Copies of this chain bind each other. A is one copy, B any other.
Amino acid sequence: MEPGSPKRPFETAPTIKQVADVARVSRATVSRAFGAPHLLRRDTVESVRAVAERLGYVPNHIARALSTGRTGNIALVVPDITNAFFAALMRGAQAKARDAGYATFVGDSDETPELEDMLLTKLAAQVEGFVLVSPRLSQERIKHHAARRALVLVNSDIADLSRLLIDTKPSYERAVEHLASLGHGAVAYLAGPDLSWSNGQRAAAVSDAARRLSLRVVDVPTSRPSFEAGRACVACLLEAGVTAALAFDDVVAQGIVAGLAERGVMVPRDFSVVGCDGVIATTNFPPLTSIDVGCLSAGQRAVDLLMNILKDPTTAGQRIDLPADFIIRASTGPAQKLAAEQQS
């Protein structure tokens, strides 16, 4: 270390007082130049801001928060950052929050209720609100947290709480119809997490549509929605004699396609696969027939909702349903003759 170096290793940020002194105004004026410029003369605002700029002054979030009770922070809590669906959602949410002047904490719960609970608890003191995505936590605990902080749920349906639900049911039904029309008589559904609302919805949609169309459905559980899980269940799929599979999401679908390819089963010639999410459906070969849930805009909408609640708490508690689009690409095709005959 340099001799005579300052006790603090880092430069200390300029304060409102320093700006005030240099600009020859009061601290209140500096404060207003940033927080309420309409109360000041134009040139006052400009000169103060110029000085601030020159000094590198930025209003201190913490001090402001202490004074106003508003932190200007929100937190995003998701089961797995590396999942493309959550990542895209976070991207939209984070950008929206930034535009609204909010900074964003992120919490990865690693798919566990305990970590989720812990994150919600510890972050609460520093945020104005939460966006809780696909929670694995109990209703009771979620309500507990919602009672002390604004909270928007994504893909979790709890009465009286603000929630954004991506409605994939019609799309999964259309997907089943699509497969039926291609001559598939037996299909599989590769499930997502038990605790997931989305999974419940999707499983029900497949089951309902299949019953209606007299298709046979095989339900295949997976430990966790992953490429590996999809790949691992291929043997099971082929054994079950199905000619098509609907997956909980695109990651699982990709795994299925890869697992099939390894065994020389070509998609869509020999087997059809349907995914869900829409982020990575197009970054696959063949491009996946999939359900586009518009995760980016879902993230934005969730933050919109949260911002509304922060502005007017009486708007809390509403339910918003977002549509999803079934999009036919190249991973589905006519049922293979052989397999079709097996059914009849």
Give chain A's interface residues, CB within 8 Å of chain B: 1-13, 58-63, 65-66, 68-73, 76, 80-82, 84, 87-88, 90-91, 94-95, 98-108, 110, 119, 121-126, 128, 147-150, 227, 251, 254-255, 257-258, 261-262, 279, 282-287, 307, 310-314, 316
Assess the A283–B84 pair: CB atoms within 8 A.
no
Assess the B58–A121 pair: CB atoms within 8 A.
yes
Assess the B101–A91 pair: CB atoms within 8 A.
no
Chain B residues closer than 8 Å to A10, beta-carbon distance: 147-150, 313
- A60: contacting residue among B101, B125, B286, CB under 8 A: B125
CB distance from A74 to the nearest CB of B (A): 10
CB distance from A210 to the nearest CB of B (A): 28
- A8: contacting residue among B4, B69, B104, CB under 8 A: B69
When chains A and B are docked, how far (Å) is the Cα of A123 from the Cα of B68? Answer: 18
- A311: contacting residue among B5, B72, B313, CB under 8 A: B5
Closest 7 pairs between A and B when the two form their complex, measured CB to CB: A4-B310, A9-B313, A227-B283, A61-B125, A258-B285, A106-B106, A3-B70
A-B contact pairs, 30 of them (CB 8 A): A1-B314, A3-B68, A3-B70, A5-B312, A6-B69, A10-B147, A10-B148, A10-B150, A13-B124, A13-B125, A58-B122, A58-B125, A61-B122, A81-B87, A81-B90, A82-B87, A87-B87, A94-B107, A94-B108, A95-B110, A98-B107, A98-B119, A103-B107, A103-B122, A105-B106, A227-B283, A254-B284, A255-B283, A261-B286, A262-B285
Smallest CB-CB separation from A61: which chain B residue?
Answer: B125
Known: A13-B124, A124-B58. Contact between A88 and B82, CB under 8 A? yes
CB distance from A127 to the nearest CB of B (A): 9
Assess the A227–B282 pair: CB atoms within 8 A.
yes
Smallest CB-CB separation from A118: which chain B residue?
Answer: B98
**Known pairs A3-B102, A4-B311, A98-B119. 18 more at Cβ < 8 A?**
A1-B99, A1-B101, A4-B70, A6-B68, A6-B70, A8-B69, A58-B122, A61-B125, A62-B66, A62-B71, A63-B66, A73-B126, A81-B81, A82-B279, A94-B108, A98-B107, A103-B105, A227-B283
When chains A and B are docked, how far (Å) is the Cα of A142 from the Cα of B70? Answer: 29
CB distance from A186 to the nearest CB of B (A): 24
When chains A and B are docked, how far (Å) is the Cα of A314 from the Cα of B149? Answer: 40
Assess the B72–A11 pair: CB atoms within 8 A.
no
When chains A and B are docked, how far (Å) is the Cα of A1 from the Cα of B316? Answer: 11
When chains A and B are docked, how far (Å) is the Cα of A4 from the Cα of B73? Answer: 11
When chains A and B are docked, how far (Å) is the Cα of A196 from the Cα of B5? Answer: 33
Assess the A65–B68 pair: CB atoms within 8 A.
no
Smallest CB-CB separation from A262: which chain B residue?
Answer: B285
Chain B residues closer than 8 Å to A95, beta-carbon distance: 108, 110
